Every structure is written in structure tokens, then in C-alpha cells.
Structure 1
Amino acid sequence: MTQQLRVAVIGTGFMGRMHAHAWRSAHRFFDLPRTPALRVLGGTDADRTAVAASRWGFDEATTDWRSMIERADIDVVDICTPGDTHAEIALAALAAGKHVMCEKPLANDVADADRMVAAADAATARGVVSMCGFSYRRTPALALARRLVEDGRIGEVRHVRAQYLQDWLSDPEAPFTWRLDKTRAGSGTLGDIGAHSIDTAQWLTGDDIVGVSAMLRTFVPTRPVRDEQVGLGGRARADAQRRAVTVDDAAAFTAEFAGGALGVFEATRLATGHRNSNRVEINGDRGSVAFDFRSMNELEFYDARDPLGEQGFRRIQANEPEHPYADAWWPAGHGLGYEHLFTHQVVDLVRAIAGEAKVAPTFAEAARVQRVLAAVEQSAAQRSTYVPVEGESA
């Protein structure tokens, strides 16, 4: 029997449910140095939190996140709340000596992100680990792409092309949610899904974005306040009161990488026909890799050194035992799903806490993403052709 790692999750929405599933599953498929134990779930509504805690396997439920952090029987605090609460919760948890998992984006602005980085760095000296939840890094096919790029298989990176397209807000009568309120979400599509593309691109290339030129659009300026009987993403009543949308619906920007590569990024929640299309392609002077989450178990790889008559993208099924994370799951060819990425995230965090692995992405890495988000917003607001990313130099 391994020592328990006692977990508190804050947040009862989509991410809270996904993280709870991951904590509950990780040790059942991977050999871990410590066994996660779901101690307490925190939420804002007592009844809903109690129901979720029982269904997801927690010992207790509470609406007081501060009491969770003060408990001696909690080792890890997992933050799955809107962005405006990330900094306050993370700073308190780190000060209390708790390991922290924080959903992306790290914060709502660079100032809060920097405060979180400083606290995380200080906590590291005391053996406290912190990680930001950019879950797509844990896709076996993308992790394979990272390995190929690191090994020089595509050579010098020249182009980065990233798209993240969704359509759940394409109906102008789709109800208002907290994700459309800048005070809570920080930004809209840009921070919600564009942040994933930024992190993926910087992680895959091993290179930072140093400048951007951007446009943001809000196509639907007001949305109806959701009737309690209308589910998230459902159509609101015709007579419902409307509320102003204070974030972007879509983002498009070009980017310069420190190594000289050119990036093109697009993110939107209004691309009809695209439920969750997350795609990235990296072109180098020796080859290319391309990934589309709609075929999440596959990686496209092109080797420019193949004989001319044999050249072309080839499809790699990334579920062989030698592929990242895949050996813990099913026989080759059976495939993994979205939920497995979060299980892999827990695995990596538990191993980092035990000193068996290096934590990634760190709060510092996540803060670099925050700086790119800020530069994109600045460029769009100023209609500037180029805005350098704060703290980076070309």
C-alpha cells in the first residue's frame, strides 16, 4: 500500500467533474508512488455540491474553500473555478503548504499570474509542487510530436499553424454564461481555447512567442440571461432579459517566435459545424507534424528526406506501448478519449510531488502564455501591426 495523497477539488462544473474522474482513475491504471484520495469537494451551491461530491466519490462537500485549504488532512488543492478566483485560491493554498493544480489560463491578467509564479517559486523551496492544467500536452499523439521535434526529425521550425474552433455560441440566442463576462473569465475565446493553442505551440517547438499582430471580434454583443430550466448552451426564451457580452467571440493573430518561426493562430466559438476542432501543424526544413484532436489517437508525420517517390504525410496510430502514456491502457488500436488526458495530468503531478518527475507546465510556463494573451489583446485594442510580448525579446 502506498501513502495516500489527499485531494481537495474546488469547482463543481465541467472541469471539476473531469478532474474528479482523473483523480479517481489514475492509480487504477498507472503505478503511482502515492494513492490519490478524494477528501472534499468545494462549490458555491450547498445542495449541488453535496450531490456532486456523493456522485463523484468525495468524502465530504463544502461551500467554504478557505476551510478546505486550512485542513491538515489535505495535501493537494485542485482549482477548477472561473479565472477571477485562481490567484486568490492558489496563493492561499501555497501559503498553507498545499500542492496546487490550477486550471488554465493561469489567471485573468499578467499581474496576478506573476504573483502566482512568485508564490510557486517560493513554495518550491519548501518541497511544494504547482502545475497549470494544459491538458492537451498529455495527448499521446501530441506528446509523440513533441518527441519528434525535440529529436530533430523535422529540422529547423519555420511555420506554426494552429486553429481551435468551436460552435457552441454560434446561435445568437444561446444564453449568457460566466465565460462571457470579462470580470470573471478575463477574456473570451482567446483565453478559453486560444490559450491551449499558444501553450501547445510553445511546448511543441520549445520556443517562445515574442511578438504578435492580432484582431479580436465580438459578433454577438448581447445574449439572453439563461432561464434556470434552460441548460448550458440551450436556447433561451424569446422574452428573456439580455446581458452585454464583454469578451471576444473570436481571435486571429500572427506570431513571431524567438527562433524566427512564423505562427498563424485562430480561435473561435462561432465556427458552425466545429464542436471541438483543435488542430496544430509544425513545418520544419526536414519535415512536418500535424495533429487534429478530432482524430486524437493519430499523428500526421512528413519526412522530407524520404525518397521523392515515397514522400507524403503518413499517419501514425499513437497507441502502441512505446508511445507516451499508452502502455497503461488498452491493446494497440483501441484508442483513448478526452478524459484520459486529465488522468495523465494527475499521473504526472503525483510523480512530480514524489520527486520522480519534473513538473510541467509550471506556473512560470503558464505565465508566459498569459503574456501572449495580454499582447494579443493589446494589439487588437490598439489596431497595432506588432506588439512585443512583455518580458520576451526577438
Structure 2
Amino acid sequence: ELARELAALEGVFVKYICDVDAQHAAKAAAAVAAVQTPAPRTTGDFRHILDDREVDALVIAAPDHWHAPAAILACAAGKHVYVEKPCSHNPREGELLVAAARKHNRVVQHGTQRRSWPAIQQAIGLVRDGAIGRPIMARGWYNNVRPATGRCTEAPVPEGLDWDMWQGPAPRRPYRENIVHYKWHWFWHWGTGELGNNGVHSLDVCRWGLGVEYPRRVTSGGGRYWFDDDQETPDTHVVTFEFGSTFIVWEGRSCHPRGFENSRYGVAFYGTEGTLIIDGGSFRIIDLKDNEVRKVAGPGGNTAHLQNFIDAVRGQAKPVAEIEEGHKSTLLCHLGNIAHRTGRTINVDQKTGRIVGDPEAQSLWSRQYAPGWEPKV
């Protein structure tokens, strides 16, 4: 999807499609060939792309454990980067990615595309300008009806899949049928759960609207309640982020469609004079008498965000989701997951975002890597 949309932008040529699954690579190349000529080349190893001096930028839409390591290598090779959310598998990777972008002076755009949606930009401006009075709190939520992950044992690697390269920076594990190509999200070894998968979008908007950076305290509740299977991450999750004068609540239910404010996915800002509710690319304002006083609809999608990235690479604009902002929003997800995994409240240094006084929680700040794949700046 991203490759096809990029190829449709003026002055953009997609030279390569990289996928460790040969069938997926061929399918994506064919989709791009429908909007550009010639068709892109395919490869199973993105490092070949980094050696090509004609390539200006790399778009990383791989599993979470690949995002930061690949982006750091791309920066070191002189490439600009569009990295999908979440920008890291753990907090340390996010710190390193920001450092790599600064060291090599590269544009790194985070895939939190709501920062490019016109109605959302307008909504955030209204919140900051006092349209709902003083914001007291923000809530983000995501609801879905996902299938069971199932129980699987070791199985033969499918033909055409480079399982070793798929694992990349992650320590090696046997192939199982409930990992590739999507359910890896629900295993800590490769994914960050629903909080990192979709929660990062709403948390980014919450943080943007409230103008906050690092929380002082993070509390998590929830667990795996729907299915008894291999899934490790919670299917029902509520996280609270306290910032002192305000706070954010995120709630995710991966197996239940009912959300808040008549929306399965959204963000709400609650203020002293009203409420602003974001639903997709639209928003509405409700006053304290529960009357809808304003409603604005707008487009969503990826195109505007990709165009902003291209404009930034050309020096014509600033990236609206610059990687430091992406890291701060992703860090909220990591802190929420760490609170869940340790089973206790996490205290945070609001100046640095670092965990305070909890060695066990701090041990989840980074991870072990496959030999030779340790990210370095």
C-alpha cells in the first residue's frame, strides 16, 4: 500500500521492493508497476538497497523488531527514512534512532500519519487555543474483533520465506505457523501488542493536543481474557499516564467492538468548557450541556503524510512527525507494556523519560540481539 501510494506521488520512483517472502515481494512489485514504469526490482535483503547511491530514502514497514535497527542502518548509509509505527521494539532502540538521525543529519519521519490529516491538525489547534477551556485529560481507545492466535508447535518454514532474515535482529527461534505474517504482533519477542500496534496513533494525538512529553507515573491493568492460546500480549488493556497537571488514559480491547463516544477508534479531550472528540479524520465539539456545537469532517489515509516526508527530503518542508516526537509517543507504549509485564506502577523521570528506582522494569528498556545485529550509532 505505502509503495503504491509513494509511486503515485509526483517525482517519486520506487526502485526496490524488499520482502523476505518472495511471493509478497512479487505481489507488491506488481501493484507498484500499475502506477510506474519500469516495475521495481525485488530483493529479500534491504542491505543491498543501502549500497545503491541512487536511492535517497528507505520506507520501513517491517515487523516491529526490525523498525529501529533497519532505520539506524539506513541513516548510517546516508538514506532518509520513513519508519512505520512504532518506531522501536523497546525504549533503547528509540533513543538510538533519534541519535542516528541527528548524527547523520537525516530526515526520519514516523508513520503516525494523523499528524498530516487536516481536520486533526485543526482539532489540535482548537484544543491548544482553548476551544474546550483548560484540558483536564485525554482518552484514546482502539477496539477490534481479532481472531484467536491459536496454539502451534514448530513447523517447516514455507517455501519462499527467508525465516532467518525475517528474524533479523531478534535471537533465533523455531518457525511456527501463528507468527508470520501478522500474529507476531502478539509476541513480545517481535511485537509490542495492541498498545504499540494501534495505541501509538491515539497516544500520539493525545500527547500532541495536551502538549506533554514524558509522564511521571504509568499504571497498567488488563490481561489475556478472551482466548487460551499462545498470545503473550494483553487482549484487554487499560493504561494511565500521569503528567502532573493532566493525564491520559488509553484503553484497548482487541476482541470486542464497542468503543467510546460512538467510535471504535478515537481520541477525546475533556476540558473545563467542553469536550473535543476525534473519530477517524473528523472531529466534533460538545459543550457542557451535551450539545454538539461544531463538527468538521476531513480526509485520512497515508498520502498527505508521505507527501510531507518527500517534501522534507527535498528541503521544502519540516517533517510533521519527526522521529523525536515519534519516539516520545512510542515510549508511552513501551512504558505501558513494561508496567503490564512487571505488574506494578512505573515511576518516570519527566526530564528524560527514564524509569526511576525499578531495576526489573529497567531491564526491559532494551533487549538481547542476534549476534551481529546489535544497533549501533
> Which residue type is aligned with residue 316 of structure 1?
K
Q: Which residue of 2 aligns with 1:328?
A: none
CA gap 1:172/1:64 in 2 versus in 1, 3 angstroms: closer
Query: Which of residues 247, 252, 265 in structure 2 aligns to 1:262?
Result: 247
In the TM superposition, what is the alpha-carbon distance from 1:317 to its structure 2 partner? Answer: 3.1
Tell me how far apart the structure 2 counterparts of residues 381 and 173 of structure 1 sit (CA, whole Å). Answer: 21
What secondary structure is seen at the aligned counterpart in 2 of 1:380? helix
| Structure having the larger proportion of residues in strand | 1
Q: Which residue of 1 aligns with 2:90?
A: 109
| Structure 2 counterparts to residues 320-339 of structure 1, below 5 A | 336=299
Contact 1:24 1:36 in 2 (8 A): yes
Query: Which of residues 62, 66, 70 in structure 1 aligns to 2:47?
Result: 66
In the TM superposition, what is the alpha-carbon distance from 1:87 to its structure 2 partner? Answer: 2.0
| Structure 2 counterparts to residues 133-144 of structure 1, below 5 A | 133-144=111-122
Contact 2:71 2:81 in 1 (8 A): yes
In the TM superposition, what is the alpha-carbon distance from 1:287 to its structure 2 partner? Answer: 3.1
Q: Which residue of 1 aligns with 2:286?
A: 302
| Structure 2 counterparts to residues 72-111 of structure 1, below 5 A | 72-111=53-92
Contact 2:186 2:231 in 1 (8 A): yes
Q: Does 1:378 align with 2:338?
A: yes
Tell me how far apart the structure 2 counterparts of residues 136 and 39 of structure 1 sit (CA, whole Å). Answer: 27
> Which residue type is aligned with residue 247 of structure 1?
T
Q: Which residue of 2 aligns with 1:40?
A: 16
Q: Does 1:348 align with 2:348?
A: no
Contact 2:284 2:296 in 1 (8 A): no
In the TM superposition, what is the alpha-carbon distance from 1:279 to its structure 2 partner? Answer: 1.2
Contact 1:25 1:343 in 2 (8 A): no
Q: What is the TM-score of this pair, normalised by structure 1?
A: 0.73
In the TM superposition, what is the alpha-carbon distance from 1:85 to its structure 2 partner? Answer: 1.1
Q: Does 1:167 align with 2:173?
A: no
CA gap 1:386/1:107 in 2 versus in 1, 3 angstroms: closer
In the TM superposition, what is the alpha-carbon distance from 1:180 to its structure 2 partner? Answer: 2.0
In the TM superposition, what is the alpha-carbon distance from 1:221 to its structure 2 partner? Answer: 6.0
| Structure 2 counterparts to residues 166-205 of structure 1, below 5 A | 166-169=144-147, 176=178, 177-185=183-191, 187-205=192-210
> Which residue type is aligned with residue 284 of structure 2?
E
Q: Does 1:215 align with 2:221?
A: yes
Tell me how far apart the structure 2 counterparts of residues 160 and 170 of structure 1 sit (CA, whole Å). Answer: 31
Query: Which of residues 108, 123, 126 in structure 1 aligns to 2:104?
Result: 123
Contact 1:166 1:277 in 2 (8 A): yes
> Which residue type is aligned with residue 253 of structure 2?
T
> Which residue type is aligned with residue 266 of structure 1?
E
What secondary structure is seen at the aligned counterpart in 2 of 1:120? helix
What secondary structure is seen at the aligned counterpart in 1 of 2:256? coil
CA gap 1:120/1:216 in 2 versus in 1, 3 angstroms: farther
Tell me how far apart the structure 2 counterparts of residues 277 and 364 of structure 1 sit (CA, whole Å). Answer: 28
Tell me how far apart the structure 2 counterparts of residues 136 and 179 of structure 1 sit (CA, whole Å). Answer: 21
Contact 2:142 2:199 in 1 (8 A): yes
> Which residue type is aligned with residue 265 of structure 1?
W
Tell me how far apart the structure 2 counterparts of residues 116 and 262 of structure 1 sit (CA, whole Å). Answer: 27
Q: Which residue of 1 aligns with 2:166?
A: none
Tell me how far apart the structure 2 counterparts of residues 38 and 166 of structure 1 sit (CA, whole Å). Answer: 33
Q: Which residue of 2 aligns with 1:230?
A: none
In the TM superposition, what is the alpha-carbon distance from 1:183 to its structure 2 partner? Answer: 1.2
Unaligned runs of 5+ in 1: 1-16, 28-34, 224-243, 320-335
CA gap 1:198/1:247 in 2 versus in 1, 3 angstroms: same
Contact 1:371 1:389 in 2 (8 A): no
Q: What is the TM-score of this pair, normalised by structure 2?
A: 0.76
Q: Which residue of 1 aligns with 2:274?
A: 287
Tell me how far apart the structure 1 counterparts of residues 295 and 79 of structure 2 sit (CA, whole Å). Answer: 40
Alignment length, in residue pairs?
317
Q: Percent identity?
A: 23
What secondary structure is seen at the aligned counterpart in 1 of 2:55? coil
CA gap 1:171/1:188 in 2 versus in 1, 3 angstroms: closer
In the TM superposition, what is the alpha-carbon distance from 1:168 to its structure 2 partner? Answer: 1.7
